[in-house]
Amino acid sequence: MTTFQNVLGTAALIALFLLPTLVGFARERRIDRELRAAERARSDEPPRTADAAQPVTATRRPYLRSWARI
């Protein structure tokens, strides 16, 4: 009977250590599938306009409550 308990305890410890790894692996595969699907959907749609290729620039505004009055 103690041999069975030893085997059962060892299997439980192995499962305890492997479970987070397997869950993480499954999550990574799901994220990879979603990224591949998004990339396929992105490549299927035509470009919208010529303006879409230009980067968006923003002007930097100083922090209004700054001690350095700019």
Could you read off the pLDDT of 2-21 as tens digits, one per residue?
999 999 999 999 999 999 99
DSSP H or E run through 56: none
What is the structure's pLDDT at 25? Answer: 92
Domain locations along the chain: 17-45
47: Cβ contacts below 8 Å, ≥ 6 apart? 53
Could you read off the pLDDT of 22-38 as tens digits, one per residue?
999 999 999 999 999 98
Give the HSE-up count for residue 38: Cα atoms under 13 Å, Cβ half-sphere: 6
Q: What is the mean pLDDT of residues 46-68?
A: 62
pTM of the model: 0.48
Residue 56 has pLDDT above 80, yes or no: no
Q: What rounded mean pLDDT belongs to the chain?
A: 80
The rounded Cα 58 to chain-centroid distance in angstroms is 28
The count of residues in the chain is 70
